[in-house]
């Protein structure tokens, strides 16, 4: 037994994906695929079914929820801005230059993607805490303390979100034709001028996509934030931390905050859909 989908059109080999003839799906592949789809969708549907829709406006307008929401938006936006300032030049370095150990540097840049967030928070404490490798000098020289502050939230979110931006921008740079930059150089433009006037406009869609992904990742960060910045309402308690705390005392508020995060995630996916469709 197989499942067959009606094709939109029959085109020769190498035609567009939309116009290709869809082959019958073998039952041994169809069944686990549908089970996997149900496994991924069921928790989201349960969240929508159990949502307190009647009391949702009151939940979202409570001072505690508003504080967490505002702090999350501000810190995620700040983390994205820092990621843009630092990540775009880093992506250019990895994509356009050759130096010893470039492969190792790329591996280290992408390490936060697979590193457990709590481990990242511990590493940030050891590096930027009051007794950390760098933090002790920040404290003694400038009186700057990052852990358990709002700035610490931004630092933690930047640490976990910037690799998403770097990967997106590096991929876009590698796909961009470098001959435009070379032509600008032959006309007398410096390398930085060529980057600013030629490269940046070319890779703007990749930068935008990477920034959106970084922002969404920063907005949902939990482990590194609670380890490095703590969970203090109004100062370091972001929306994921508020969900965790509310789940123990006020499940309705936890569901309301979860719905907000779900809505943001869907918006991000919808915004990036056209870019993914063009790449596929």
Per-residue pLDDT tens digits for 183-229? 877 877 777 888 888 888 888 988 998 998 899 899 989 999 999 99
Instruction: Categorize the per-residue pLDDT at 273 as very low, low, confident or very high, splitting at 50, 70 and 90.
Output: low
Residue 4 inside a domain? The answer is: no
Residue 18 inside a domain? The answer is: no
Residue 24 CB coordination number (10 Å): 11
Q: Summarize pLDDT for 16-56 with one digit per residue, the tens.
A: 554 455 678 788 888 999 999 999 999 889 888 888 888 77
Q: How far is CA 72 from CA 75, 208, 209, in A?
A: 5, 20, 20
Would you state the pLDDT for residue 102?
Answer: 87
Would you state the pLDDT for residue 194?
Answer: 81
Total structural domains within the chain: 1
pTM: 0.80
Residue 178 structural domain: 62-279
Residue 44 inside a domain? The answer is: no
Residue 55 inside a domain? The answer is: no
Q: Summarize pLDDT for 155-187 with one digit per residue, the tens.
A: 999 999 999 999 999 999 888 877 877 787 787
Would you state the pLDDT for residue 275?
Answer: 56
CATH of the domain at 140: 1.10.3720.10
Residue 150 inside a domain? The answer is: yes
Residue 21 inside a domain? The answer is: no
User: Is 9's pLDDT higher than 70?
Assistant: no
User: Is 61's pLDDT higher than 70?
Assistant: yes
Residue 205 inside a domain? The answer is: yes
Give the span between the Cα atoms of 97 and 63, in whole angstroms.
50
Residue 254 inside a domain? The answer is: yes
Would you state the pLDDT for residue 90?
Answer: 94
Q: Angle, to 10 degrees, between the axis of helix 200-219 and the axis of helix 251-279? A: 160
The DSSP output letter for 199 is I
| Mean pLDDT taken over the chain | 84
**Mean pLDDT lowest among 65-69, 114-118, 245-249, 273-277:** 273-277
The DSSP output letter for 2 is E
Copy the structure tokens of residue 275: 């870019």
- Contact, 87 vs 162, CB < 8 A? yes
For the segment 63-87, the average pLDDT, to the nearest whole number, is 90
Give the span between the Cα atoms of 106 and 116, in whole angstroms.
18
Give the span between the Cα atoms of 141 and 80, in whole angstroms.
27
């Amino acid at each position: 037994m197989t499942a067959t989908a009606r094709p939109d059109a029959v085109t020769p080999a190498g035609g567009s994906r939309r116009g290709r003839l869809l082959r019958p799906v073998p039952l041994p592949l169809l069944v686990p695929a549908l089970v996997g789809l149900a496994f991924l969708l069921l928790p989201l549907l349960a969240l929508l079914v159990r949502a307190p829709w009647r009391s949702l406006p009151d939940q979202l307008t409570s001072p505690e929820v508003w504080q967490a929401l505002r702090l999350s938006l501000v810190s995620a936006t700040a983390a994205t801005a820092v990621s843009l300032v630092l990540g775009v030049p880093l992506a250019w370095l990895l994509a356009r230059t050759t130096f010893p150990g470039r492969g190792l540097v790329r591996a280290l840049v992408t390490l936060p993607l697979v590193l457990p967030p709590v481990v990242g928070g511990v590493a940030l404490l050891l590096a930027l805490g009051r007794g950390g490798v760098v933090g002790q000098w920040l404290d003694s020289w400038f009186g700057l303390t990052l852990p358990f502050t709002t700035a610490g939230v931004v630092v933690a979110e930047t640490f976990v979100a910037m690799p998403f931006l770097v990967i997106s921008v590096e991929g876009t740079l590698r796909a961009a034709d470098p001959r435009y930059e070379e032509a600008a150089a032959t006309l007398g433009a410096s390398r930085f001028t060529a980057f600013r006037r030629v490269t940046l406009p070319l890779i703007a869609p990749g930068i935008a996509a990477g920034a959106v992904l970084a922002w969404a990742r920063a907005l949902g960060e939990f482990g590194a934030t609670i380890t490095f910045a703590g969970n203090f309402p109004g100062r370091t308690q972001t929306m994921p931390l508020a969900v965790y705390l509310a789940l123990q005392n006020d499940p309705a508020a936890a569901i309301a905050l979860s719905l907000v995060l779900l809505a943001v995630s869907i918006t991000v996916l919808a915004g990036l859909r056209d870019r993914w469709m063009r790449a596929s």
